[in-house]
């Protein structure tokens, strides 16, 4: 393909969009070696976060371990864990601050983004108003556990960015 340099990686933002839209040939493989299994988020309020992910994002709760951990799953099998561990794993300390800027949920349309914004706002969540950002319609809000959640439409690939390589 014109302009596609197989030896140099795409900028991450272009790669993410190409993967999501299926437009990057190198990411259309059928023999993927690994699939993302789970995400584990440190939370200051695991019960509030568990309820939020169920109510607004349709995740199913699989396991609740007191006030310390909730394990949820989406319809594609991805497991999301929110935890408030005070203990250490052998040789590994869980971070007490947030290294993750945000996690994102994609919606099919601007109307779906607006509808979820209205639900969250009506239920008393502090939600930024939806806006155009990075080529998509989106909003952000803070989960009770302390991290941010983005709700967005798919970011379109602009023709001038497709397969363009940033100088390294």
Across the chain, what does the average pLDDT equal?
A: 77
- 161: in domain: no
Position 91 pLDDT exceeds 70: no
Tell whether 80 is covered by a domain: yes
More confident residue, 145 or 35: 145
159 located within any domain = no
Averaged pLDDT for residues 82-105: 68
Total domains in the fold of the chain: 1
Residue 167, domain member (yes or no): no
The pLDDT, as a whole number, for residue 3 is 42
Q: What is the CA radius of gyration of the chain?
A: 18
Q: Give me the domain span that covers residue 129.
A: 12-23+38-85+97-153
Helices within the chain (DSSP H only): 12-21, 46-57, 110-122
C-alpha pair distances (Å), 141 with each of 35, 61, 109, 128: 28, 22, 19, 6
pLDDT per residue over 109-153, tens digit each? 999 999 999 999 999 999 999 999 878 899 999 999 888 999 999
pLDDT band at 33 (very low <50, low <70, confident <90, very high): low
Query: What pTM does this model have?
Result: 0.66
Residue 165 lies in a domain: no
Does residue 4 sit within a domain? no
The CATH number assigned to the domain holding 107 equals 3.10.180.10
* Backbone torsions φ then ψ of 41, nearest 5 degrees: -110, 135
Q: Does 53 have pLDDT greater than 80? A: yes
Q: What is the dihedral of CA 101, 107, 12, 96, to 10 degrees?
A: 20
Q: Which residue has the higher pLDDT, 29 or 107?
A: 107
CA dihedral of 130, 132, 136, 140, whole degrees rounded to 10: -40
Label residue 42 by pLDDT band (50, 70, 90).
confident
In Å, how far from its chain's centre is CA 25? 23
Question: 19 in a domain, yes or no?
Answer: yes
Instruction: Tell me if 150 sits within 8 A of 140, measured CB to CB.
Output: yes
Q: Stretch 97-118: mean pLDDT, rounded? A: 86
Confirm whether 33 is domain-assigned: no
Question: Is the pLDDT confidence value at 95 over 50?
Answer: yes
Whether the CB-CB separation of 9 and 18 falls below 8 Å is answered with no
């Amino acid at each position: 393909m014109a302009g596609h340099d197989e030896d140099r990686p795409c900028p991450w933002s272009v790669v993410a969009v190409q993967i999501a839209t299926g437009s990057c040939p190198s990411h259309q493989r059928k023999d993927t070696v690994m699939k993302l299994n789970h995400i584990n988020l440190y939370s200051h309020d695991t019960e509030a976060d568990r309820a939020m992910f169920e109510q607004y994002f349709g995740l199913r709760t699989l396991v609740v371990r007191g006030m310390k951990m909730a394990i949820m799953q989406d319809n594609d099998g991805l497991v999301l864990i929110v935890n408030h561990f005070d203990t250490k794993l052998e040789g590994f300390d869980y971070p007490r601050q947030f290294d993750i800027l945000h996690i994102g949920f994609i919606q099919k349309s601007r109307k779906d983004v607006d509808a979820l914004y209205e639900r969250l706002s009506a239920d008393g969540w502090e939600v930024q108003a939806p806006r155009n950002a990075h080529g998509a319609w989106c909003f952000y809000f803070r989960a009770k556990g302390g991290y941010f959640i983005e709700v967005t439409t798919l970011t379109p690939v602009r023709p001038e960015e497709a397969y363009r390589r940033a100088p390294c």
